[in-house]
């Protein structure tokens, strides 16, 4: 049995665990899967991001179908986010095409942005209520047209961030939606965020496929675990204490981000030497 066959059950188990968290909280896709691929399985950062994006597109399609069936998706919000995210994603992929994804500069760019995004995501998870309380009143006074414009702008920011690091669509997107749409229940916020992640991650994932930073040996076993995981999580989302999960996830992200930063900057290249099969062509 070769190494890939040996690791397939671990890939599927990781996919299931991350899919379950995404279904429950809307958070955890890129925030956990990309670092897991880099740190635990030694995948090249560019391939980890690209593979995770296609993994997320398929996983969140399953989750959005469940949320759609449960009527916990606000499609107006999804359209506004996608209006900003899809063009921004396409432009970011074009910009990445001029970068050597195998080079040290691309590795450091992806790892550095990923580390920052993980810490920011963790802070957003921990202080979500305080952020919403502080700014919701001011944002609540905005006109519907202004709210729509800000939603499109949030989508554009997420498009750039997710295309480079695969992180941000969950915690950052959910927090932004809580600020902009305080009248929506949390289940609809999570459902709308997951539904928006489908076009965002699909366009970004196909772009990374075009760039050559996709590892199909990883993608298939990840999906075998993640699809049932997110279906289960989306089904029981209203029955689980979301705050406890969110704080646990935030603590995990801080540990992961710290480990990633130490591995990247204390020993340059360490996070990409464990395997060469995942390096983009």
48-85 pLDDT, tens per residue?
A: 888 889 888 887 888 888 888 888 899 999 999 999 99
Look at residue 2 and tell me if it is in a domain: no
pLDDT value at position 92?
A: 94
Look at residue 83 and tell me if it is in a domain: yes
206: domain range?
7-272
Exposure string over 41-52, b if 16+ CB within 10 A, otherwise e? bbbbbbbbbbbb
Look at residue 19 and tell me if it is in a domain: yes
Look at residue 103 and tell me if it is in a domain: yes
pLDDT value at position 147?
A: 92
The total number of residues shown for the chain amounts to 281
pLDDT value at position 31?
A: 75
pLDDT value at position 276?
A: 42
Helix, strand, coil distribution of the chain in percent, nearest 5: 80, 0, 20
Look at residue 280 and tell me if it is in a domain: no
Look at residue 279 and tell me if it is in a domain: no
Contact 18, 231 (CB under 8 A): no
Look at residue 247 and tell me if it is in a domain: yes
pLDDT value at position 206?
A: 94
pLDDT value at position 265?
A: 64
For residue 231, give both structure tokens.
């279906």
- State whether residue 146 is helix, strand or coil: helix
In this prediction, the residues of the chain whose per-residue pLDDT falls under 50 are: 1, 3-4, 6, 268-278, 281
Look at residue 143 and tell me if it is in a domain: yes
Q: What pTM value is reported for the model?
A: 0.77
Number of domains within the chain: 1
Count Cα neighbours of 216 within 13 Å in the Cβ-side half-sphere. Answer: 3
């Amino acid at each position: 049995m070769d190494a890939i066959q040996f690791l397939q059950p671990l890939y599927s188990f990781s996919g299931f665990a991350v899919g379950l968290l995404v279904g429950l909280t809307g958070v955890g896709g890129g925030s956990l899967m990309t670092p897991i691929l880099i740190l635990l399985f030694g995948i090249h950062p560019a391939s980890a991001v690209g593979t995770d994006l296609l993994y997320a597109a398929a996983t969140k399609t399953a989750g959005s179908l469940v949320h759609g069936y449960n009527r916990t998706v606000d499609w107006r919000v999804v359209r506004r986010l996608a209006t900003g995210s899809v063009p921004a994603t396409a432009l970011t992929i074009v910009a990445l095409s001029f970068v050597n994804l195998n080079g040290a500069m691309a590795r450091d760019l992806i790892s550095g942005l990923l580390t920052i995004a993980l810490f920011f995501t963790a802070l957003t998870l921990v202080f979500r209520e305080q952020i919403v309380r502080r700014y919701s009143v001011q944002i609540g006074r905005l006109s519907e047209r202004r709210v729509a414009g800000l939603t499109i702008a949030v989508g554009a920011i997420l498009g750039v961030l997710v295309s480079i690091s695969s992180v941000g669509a969950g915690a950052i997107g959910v927090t932004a939606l809580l600020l902009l749409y305080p009248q929506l229940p949390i289940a609809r916020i999570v459902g709308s965020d997951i539904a928006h992640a489908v076009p965002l991650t699909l366009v970004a994932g196909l772009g990374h496929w075009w760039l050559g930073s996709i590892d199909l040996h990883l993608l298939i076993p990840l999906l075998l675990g993640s699809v049932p995981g997110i279906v289960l999580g989306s089904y029981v989302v209203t029955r689980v204490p979301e705050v406890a999960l969110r704080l646990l996830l935030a603590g995990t992200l801080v540990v992961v981000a710290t480990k990633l930063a130490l591995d990247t900057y204390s020993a340059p290249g360490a996070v990409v030497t464990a395997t060469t099969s995942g390096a983009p062509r």
